[in-house]
Structure 1
Amino acid sequence: MSQRDPAWLTGSLVAAGGAVGASARHAVGGALPGLWGTLAANVSGSLLLGVLLYEALRTDRLGDRTRTLLATGVLSSYTTYSTFTVETIQAAPLVGVAYLLGSYGLGFAAALAGRDLAARVDPRPDREVRA
Protein backbone atom coordinates (compact mmCIF):
# COMPACT_ATOMS: atom_id res chain seq x y z
CA MET A 1 0.00 0.00 0.00
CA SER A 2 1.06 3.54 -0.58
CA GLN A 3 2.37 5.42 2.42
CA ARG A 4 -0.38 7.98 1.76
CA ASP A 5 -3.28 5.52 1.93
CA PRO A 6 -5.25 5.93 5.14
CA ALA A 7 -5.50 2.96 7.47
CA TRP A 8 -9.27 2.79 6.96
CA LEU A 9 -8.75 2.19 3.22
CA THR A 10 -6.29 -0.63 3.80
CA GLY A 11 -8.60 -2.15 6.41
CA SER A 12 -11.57 -1.86 4.07
CA LEU A 13 -9.72 -3.62 1.25
CA VAL A 14 -8.67 -6.45 3.56
CA ALA A 15 -12.19 -6.77 5.02
CA ALA A 16 -13.90 -6.81 1.62
CA GLY A 17 -11.43 -9.33 0.28
CA GLY A 18 -11.75 -11.39 3.44
CA ALA A 19 -15.50 -11.67 3.00
CA VAL A 20 -15.03 -12.94 -0.55
CA GLY A 21 -12.28 -15.36 0.43
CA ALA A 22 -14.14 -16.78 3.41
CA SER A 23 -17.26 -17.27 1.30
CA ALA A 24 -15.23 -19.03 -1.41
CA ARG A 25 -13.56 -21.23 1.22
CA HIS A 26 -16.97 -22.15 2.63
CA ALA A 27 -18.15 -23.12 -0.86
CA VAL A 28 -15.08 -25.29 -1.45
CA GLY A 29 -15.60 -26.96 1.95
CA GLY A 30 -19.23 -27.65 1.06
CA ALA A 31 -18.29 -29.19 -2.28
CA LEU A 32 -15.30 -31.13 -0.92
CA PRO A 33 -15.70 -31.78 2.82
CA GLY A 34 -12.79 -32.60 5.10
CA LEU A 35 -9.19 -33.04 4.05
CA TRP A 36 -9.93 -32.76 0.32
CA GLY A 37 -11.59 -29.36 0.64
CA THR A 38 -8.79 -27.97 2.74
CA LEU A 39 -6.20 -29.37 0.35
CA ALA A 40 -8.04 -27.90 -2.66
CA ALA A 41 -8.32 -24.46 -1.04
CA ASN A 42 -4.72 -24.36 0.13
CA VAL A 43 -3.23 -25.58 -3.15
CA SER A 44 -5.36 -23.33 -5.36
CA GLY A 45 -4.65 -20.43 -2.99
CA SER A 46 -0.91 -21.12 -3.28
CA LEU A 47 -1.20 -21.07 -7.07
CA LEU A 48 -2.99 -17.73 -7.04
CA LEU A 49 -0.60 -16.27 -4.48
CA GLY A 50 2.30 -17.36 -6.69
CA VAL A 51 0.73 -15.54 -9.63
CA LEU A 52 0.24 -12.37 -7.55
CA LEU A 53 3.73 -12.41 -6.05
CA TYR A 54 5.54 -12.93 -9.31
CA GLU A 55 3.26 -10.54 -11.18
CA ALA A 56 4.39 -7.88 -8.72
CA LEU A 57 8.04 -8.70 -9.36
CA ARG A 58 7.66 -8.87 -13.14
CA THR A 59 5.10 -6.32 -14.33
CA ASP A 60 3.54 -4.71 -11.26
CA ARG A 61 0.42 -3.95 -13.32
CA LEU A 62 -2.02 -4.77 -10.55
CA GLY A 63 -0.71 -2.28 -8.02
CA ASP A 64 -0.50 -2.35 -4.25
CA ARG A 65 -4.20 -1.83 -3.53
CA THR A 66 -5.28 -4.68 -5.77
CA ARG A 67 -2.68 -6.99 -4.24
CA THR A 68 -3.80 -6.00 -0.75
CA LEU A 69 -7.40 -6.81 -1.68
CA LEU A 70 -6.53 -10.12 -3.36
CA ALA A 71 -3.55 -11.47 -1.40
CA THR A 72 -4.10 -10.14 2.11
CA GLY A 73 -7.89 -10.06 1.89
CA VAL A 74 -9.18 -12.82 -0.37
CA LEU A 75 -6.40 -15.40 -0.28
CA SER A 76 -5.55 -15.11 3.40
CA SER A 77 -9.13 -15.99 4.33
CA TYR A 78 -9.55 -18.50 1.51
CA THR A 79 -6.56 -20.60 2.54
CA THR A 80 -6.59 -22.12 5.99
CA TYR A 81 -3.60 -23.16 8.02
CA SER A 82 -5.60 -23.67 11.20
CA THR A 83 -8.01 -26.17 9.61
CA PHE A 84 -5.06 -27.88 7.91
CA THR A 85 -3.34 -28.29 11.30
CA VAL A 86 -6.43 -29.63 13.07
CA GLU A 87 -7.24 -32.07 10.27
CA THR A 88 -3.64 -33.29 10.13
CA ILE A 89 -3.54 -33.94 13.88
CA GLN A 90 -6.95 -35.64 13.91
CA ALA A 91 -6.18 -37.96 10.98
CA ALA A 92 -4.82 -41.46 11.45
CA PRO A 93 -1.01 -41.22 11.80
CA LEU A 94 -0.14 -42.49 8.32
CA VAL A 95 -2.87 -40.40 6.68
CA GLY A 96 -1.76 -37.34 8.66
CA VAL A 97 1.86 -37.67 7.58
CA ALA A 98 0.88 -38.23 3.94
CA TYR A 99 -1.51 -35.26 4.11
CA LEU A 100 1.15 -33.03 5.66
CA LEU A 101 3.81 -33.91 3.11
CA GLY A 102 1.37 -33.83 0.20
CA SER A 103 -0.06 -30.47 1.24
CA TYR A 104 3.33 -28.82 1.50
CA GLY A 105 4.63 -30.43 -1.68
CA LEU A 106 1.55 -29.52 -3.71
CA GLY A 107 1.45 -26.03 -2.20
CA PHE A 108 5.05 -25.27 -3.18
CA ALA A 109 4.51 -26.80 -6.63
CA ALA A 110 1.38 -24.67 -7.08
CA ALA A 111 3.25 -21.49 -6.09
CA LEU A 112 5.94 -22.31 -8.66
CA ALA A 113 3.25 -22.95 -11.26
CA GLY A 114 1.88 -19.51 -10.37
CA ARG A 115 5.33 -18.08 -11.03
CA ASP A 116 5.29 -19.69 -14.47
CA LEU A 117 1.82 -18.31 -15.20
CA ALA A 118 2.97 -14.82 -14.22
CA ALA A 119 5.98 -15.18 -16.55
CA ARG A 120 3.60 -15.77 -19.45
CA VAL A 121 2.02 -12.37 -18.85
CA ASP A 122 5.35 -10.69 -19.64
CA PRO A 123 7.67 -13.30 -21.15
CA ARG A 124 10.52 -10.93 -22.06
CA PRO A 125 13.85 -12.41 -20.93
CA ASP A 126 14.96 -9.10 -19.41
CA ARG A 127 12.01 -9.35 -16.98
CA GLU A 128 12.90 -12.84 -15.82
CA VAL A 129 12.69 -13.44 -12.09
CA ARG A 130 14.93 -15.96 -10.41
CA ALA A 131 13.43 -18.19 -7.72
Structure 2
Amino acid sequence: MRLRTTTDSDTFVYATSPLNFGGVEKEDLLTWMVPMAIANQFMDDPFYAFAVGCFCLWLYKRLTAGTPPGHMVLRLSVGMGRFEHSDFANQFPAAKKVIRFLNNFLNNLWLEVGLLPSPTYCNRYEP
Protein backbone atom coordinates (compact mmCIF):
# COMPACT_ATOMS: atom_id res chain seq x y z
CA MET A 1 0.00 0.00 0.00
CA ARG A 2 1.50 3.33 -1.02
CA LEU A 3 0.57 6.68 0.47
CA ARG A 4 1.14 9.83 -1.52
CA THR A 5 1.99 13.04 0.31
CA THR A 6 1.56 16.56 -0.95
CA THR A 7 3.86 19.54 -0.69
CA ASP A 8 1.41 21.12 1.75
CA SER A 9 2.41 18.74 4.52
CA ASP A 10 5.77 17.89 6.00
CA THR A 11 4.58 15.05 8.22
CA PHE A 12 5.84 11.52 7.77
CA VAL A 13 3.12 8.90 7.87
CA TYR A 14 2.52 5.40 6.68
CA ALA A 15 -0.71 3.54 6.19
CA THR A 16 -1.46 -0.02 7.22
CA SER A 17 -4.51 -2.16 6.97
CA PRO A 18 -6.21 -2.96 10.30
CA LEU A 19 -7.54 -6.21 8.84
CA ASN A 20 -6.87 -9.28 10.93
CA PHE A 21 -8.55 -12.62 11.40
CA GLY A 22 -9.26 -13.45 15.02
CA GLY A 23 -6.14 -11.65 16.26
CA VAL A 24 -3.92 -13.04 13.50
CA GLU A 25 -2.19 -10.29 11.55
CA LYS A 26 -1.34 -10.59 7.88
CA GLU A 27 2.34 -11.12 8.65
CA ASP A 28 1.39 -13.99 10.99
CA LEU A 29 -0.33 -15.77 8.14
CA LEU A 30 3.11 -16.36 6.59
CA THR A 31 3.97 -18.62 9.51
CA TRP A 32 0.79 -20.55 8.81
CA MET A 33 0.85 -20.78 5.01
CA VAL A 34 4.54 -21.54 4.38
CA PRO A 35 4.79 -24.55 6.77
CA MET A 36 1.41 -25.79 5.54
CA ALA A 37 2.56 -25.61 1.90
CA ILE A 38 5.82 -27.40 2.70
CA ALA A 39 4.04 -30.09 4.72
CA ASN A 40 1.51 -30.57 1.92
CA GLN A 41 4.36 -31.56 -0.42
CA PHE A 42 5.50 -34.33 1.94
CA MET A 43 2.25 -35.63 3.41
CA ASP A 44 -0.55 -37.51 1.70
CA ASP A 45 -3.44 -36.04 3.65
CA PRO A 46 -4.07 -32.27 3.43
CA PHE A 47 -5.57 -32.36 6.92
CA TYR A 48 -2.15 -33.18 8.41
CA ALA A 49 -0.59 -30.31 6.45
CA PHE A 50 -3.29 -28.01 7.81
CA ALA A 51 -2.54 -29.27 11.33
CA VAL A 52 1.19 -28.62 10.86
CA GLY A 53 0.43 -25.08 9.68
CA CYS A 54 -1.88 -24.43 12.62
CA PHE A 55 0.71 -25.78 15.06
CA CYS A 56 3.42 -23.53 13.58
CA LEU A 57 1.09 -20.53 13.79
CA TRP A 58 0.19 -21.35 17.38
CA LEU A 59 3.86 -21.75 18.31
CA TYR A 60 4.81 -18.49 16.59
CA LYS A 61 2.00 -16.58 18.31
CA ARG A 62 2.97 -18.11 21.64
CA LEU A 63 6.64 -17.16 21.24
CA THR A 64 5.88 -13.62 20.07
CA ALA A 65 3.13 -12.83 22.56
CA GLY A 66 3.18 -9.22 23.69
CA THR A 67 5.06 -7.91 20.66
CA PRO A 68 3.45 -5.19 18.55
CA PRO A 69 2.20 -5.82 15.01
CA GLY A 70 4.97 -5.39 12.49
CA HIS A 71 7.76 -6.66 14.72
CA MET A 72 8.84 -9.20 12.11
CA VAL A 73 9.45 -6.46 9.55
CA LEU A 74 11.40 -4.40 12.06
CA ARG A 75 13.58 -7.31 13.14
CA LEU A 76 14.27 -8.30 9.56
CA SER A 77 15.13 -4.74 8.57
CA VAL A 78 17.44 -4.22 11.54
CA GLY A 79 19.15 -7.54 10.88
CA MET A 80 19.65 -6.75 7.21
CA GLY A 81 21.02 -3.31 8.13
CA ARG A 82 23.49 -4.81 10.59
CA PHE A 83 24.56 -7.40 8.04
CA GLU A 84 24.97 -4.68 5.40
CA HIS A 85 27.41 -2.82 7.66
CA SER A 86 29.20 -5.93 8.93
CA ASP A 87 32.85 -6.76 8.30
CA PHE A 88 31.87 -9.50 5.87
CA ALA A 89 29.92 -7.08 3.69
CA ASN A 90 32.70 -4.51 3.82
CA GLN A 91 35.25 -7.09 2.66
CA PHE A 92 33.10 -8.17 -0.29
CA PRO A 93 31.49 -5.26 -2.19
CA ALA A 94 29.41 -7.66 -4.29
CA ALA A 95 27.84 -9.10 -1.13
CA LYS A 96 27.09 -5.58 0.09
CA LYS A 97 25.29 -4.77 -3.17
CA VAL A 98 23.24 -7.97 -2.96
CA ILE A 99 22.31 -7.29 0.67
CA ARG A 100 21.30 -3.71 -0.15
CA PHE A 101 19.20 -4.94 -3.08
CA LEU A 102 17.46 -7.53 -0.87
CA ASN A 103 16.76 -4.94 1.82
CA ASN A 104 15.21 -2.54 -0.72
CA PHE A 105 13.26 -5.40 -2.30
CA LEU A 106 11.85 -6.47 1.06
CA ASN A 107 10.91 -2.88 1.94
CA ASN A 108 9.02 -2.53 -1.33
CA LEU A 109 7.40 -5.95 -0.88
CA TRP A 110 6.13 -5.06 2.60
CA LEU A 111 4.73 -1.78 1.27
CA GLU A 112 2.96 -3.42 -1.66
CA VAL A 113 1.39 -6.11 0.53
CA GLY A 114 0.20 -3.48 2.97
CA LEU A 115 2.29 -4.38 5.98
CA LEU A 116 4.33 -1.99 8.04
CA PRO A 117 7.32 -0.58 6.17
CA SER A 118 10.72 -0.83 7.76
CA PRO A 119 11.98 2.18 9.72
CA THR A 120 14.53 2.95 7.00
CA TYR A 121 11.69 3.52 4.52
CA CYS A 122 9.19 5.47 6.66
CA ASN A 123 10.59 8.91 5.96
CA ARG A 124 10.67 8.67 2.16
CA TYR A 125 8.19 10.40 -0.05
CA GLU A 126 6.82 8.65 -3.10
CA PRO A 127 7.69 10.54 -6.32
Structures share a fold, TM > 0.5? Answer: no
TM-score (norm 2): 0.32
- Flag the structure with larger Rg: 2
Larger relative helix fraction = 1
